[in-house]
C-alpha cells in the first residue's frame, strides 16, 4: 500500500520546530504536506539550517505574501483543498487569517502553542527553554547539588509536543471519518514537558522522592550510570538482582546492602567509587562483551555526530535513512520512517524544499491557470526561489 495518510493534504503554517516536526511526521506517513511560507521564508531557513533540513524533509513549499488580497485568496484556496491544518502561531492567529470552521467546515485544525489557547500564560512566547524552565526540567537535569542545566540543541518539549500534535491530527482525522465531527486539536510545550516527566506529575501518600543525578551528572546510582573506561565511556543499567551480581562478579567486588542508599547521593558512596575505579582500568570492547554476555543492558557512549547513525548498518537495515539530492546541499541524508508498517511502501522522500519550490504546482492543483500564476509572480504575491 501507499502510506497510511496517502491522499490527505495538510496545510502547514509553522516555523522553527514543534509545528514543522508535526508536519514532517505526517509527511513521513504519506500525507501531502504543503508548507506555506512568507516571502522571507521560515525564519529557521538561515538561522537553524540543520533543523530546517531535518524537520521539513518530504514537504512541498509554497511561498505567498498573505498580506495582500491576492495572497489571502491563495491561502483560502489551498486551505479548501486540505484535510488538516497544522499551525504553531500565537492563539487565534489563523482565525485572523480567515482560516477556520466558518469557511472550511471539514478542516481539522491542529494548534501547537507554548502554553495553550487560554489561561494566564496563553500569550507568552512559546520557546522550548522557557517551557523547560517552567516545568522543572532544567533543575532536574542539573541535579540536586548543581545549578540548572539547559540540554542544548535537544529541544525536548518542542519535539515531544510536535509528535503529540501529529498524533492528535491523525486521531481527529480518524474521528472525522467515523463520526463526521470536525474538531480543533491543541497541544503545547507544557504538555510536552509533562510527558517527559509524567510519573512525577502526580501527588499521593508515600510517593518516593524523585531520583536525580549526582553532582558530576554521571547517573542515578552505581548500577544506572555513565562510567569512564580506559578508552571511552559506557552507560549500564542493571535493574535486576541477577544483573547486579553479574556486574559485581565481572569486577570482583561485593555489593553492600545499602549500595543504592546511604548518606548523600548513592554515587558518592565507597562502593560506587570502587566500581568506577575498577571500570576505569578496563577496555570498552572487553567490558561490553562481558556485560552483554551476562544480559546486562549497556552501550558505548558515542560522539554527538549524526554521521554515526546515518552510516550505521542497523539504521540502513531498517530503512531509517533517506538519501536524495538537494539543489543547495548536494547529497542529503535524513533520518526518516520512524514508524514503519509491514504492508506499506515508503513515502516519496522529497528533498527539503527550496523556498516556494512547489508554488506553481500547488497553485495549478487548486485551480489557478498559467496566466494567473504569471501575473502573481510578476506582482510579487508568490515567489519561487531559484536553485
Residues annotated as catalytic (active site), given as ranges: 158
Neighbour order of strands in the sheet with 219-221: 219-221, 224-229, 232-237, 298-300
- Point out which residues pair with 9 in neighbouring strands: 32
Q: Are the CB atoms for 85 and 13 separated by under 8 Å?
A: yes
The b/e string for 365-387 (b: 16+ C-beta within 10 A; e otherwise) is bbebeeeebeebbeeebbbbbee
Q: Which three cell numbers stand for residue 87?
A: 499551525
Rg, the chain, Cα only: 25
Amino acid at each position: 500500500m501507499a502510506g497510511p495518510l496517502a491522499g490527505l493534504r495538510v496545510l502547514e503554517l509553522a516555523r522553527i520546530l514543534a509545528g514543522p516536526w508535526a508536519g514532517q511526521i505526517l509527511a513521513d506517513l504519506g500525507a501531502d504536506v504543503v508548507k506555506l511560507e512568507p516571502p522571507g521564508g521560515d525564519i529557521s531557513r538561515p538561522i537553524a539550517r540543520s533543523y530546517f533540513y531535518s524537520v521539513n524533509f518530504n514537504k512541498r513549499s509554497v511561498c505567498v505574501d498573505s498580506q495582500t488580497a491576492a495572497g489571502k485568496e491563495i491561502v483560502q484556496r489551498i486551505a479548501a483543498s486540505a484535510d488538516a491544518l497544522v499551525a504553531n502561531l500565537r492563539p487565534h492567529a489563523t482565525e485572523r487569517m480567515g482560516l477556520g470552521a466558518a469557511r472550511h467546515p471539514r478542516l481539522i485544525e491542529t494548534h501547537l502553542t507554548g502554553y495553550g489557547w487560554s489561561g494566564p500564560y496563553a500569550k507568552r512566547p512559546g520557546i522550548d527553554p522557557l517551557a523547560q524552565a517552567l516545568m522543572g526540567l532544567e533543575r532536574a537535569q542539573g541535579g540536586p547539588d548543581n545549578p540548572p542545566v539547559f540540554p542544548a540543541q535537544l529541544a525536548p518539549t518542542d519535539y515531544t509536543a510536535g509528535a503529540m500534535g501529529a498524533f492528535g491530527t491523525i486521531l481527529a482525522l480518524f474521528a472525522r471519518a467515523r463520526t463526521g465531527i470536525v474538531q480543533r486539536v491543541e497541544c503545547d510545550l507544557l504538555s510536552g514537558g509533562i510527558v517527559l516527566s509524567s510519573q512525577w506529575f502526580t501527588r499521593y501518600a508515600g510517593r518516593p522522592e524523585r531520583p536525580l543525578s549526582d553532582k558530576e551528572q554521571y547517573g542515578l546510582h552505581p548500577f544506572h550510570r555513565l562510567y569512564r573506561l580506559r578508552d571511552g565511556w559506557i552507560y549500564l543499567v542493571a535493574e535486576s538482582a541477577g544483573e547486579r551480581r553479574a556486574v559485581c562478579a565481572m569486577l570482583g567486588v561485593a555489593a553492600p546492602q545499602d549500595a543504592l542508599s546511604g548518606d548523600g547521593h548513592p554515587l558518592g558512596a565507597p562502593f560506587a567509587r570502587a566500581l568506577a575505579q575498577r571500570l576505569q582500568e578496563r577496555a570498552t570492547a572487553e567490558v561490553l562483551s562481558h556485560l552483554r554476555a551476562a544480559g546486562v543492558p549497556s552501550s558505548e557512549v558515542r560522539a554527538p555526530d549524526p554521521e554515526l547513525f546515518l552510516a550505521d548498518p542497523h539504521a540502513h537495515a531498517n530503512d531509517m535513512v533517506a538519501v536524495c539530492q538537494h539543489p543547495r546541499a548536494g547529497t542529503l541524508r535524513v533520518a526518516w520512517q520512524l514508524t514503519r508498517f509491514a504492508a506499506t511502501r515508503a513515502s516519496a522522500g522529497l528533498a527539503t524544499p527550496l523556498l516556494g519550490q512547489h508554488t506553481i504546482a500547488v497553485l495549478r492543483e487548486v485551480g489557478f491557470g498559467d496566466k494567473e500564476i504569471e501575473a502573481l509572480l510578476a506582482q510579487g504575491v508568490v515567489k519561487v526561489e531559484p536553485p
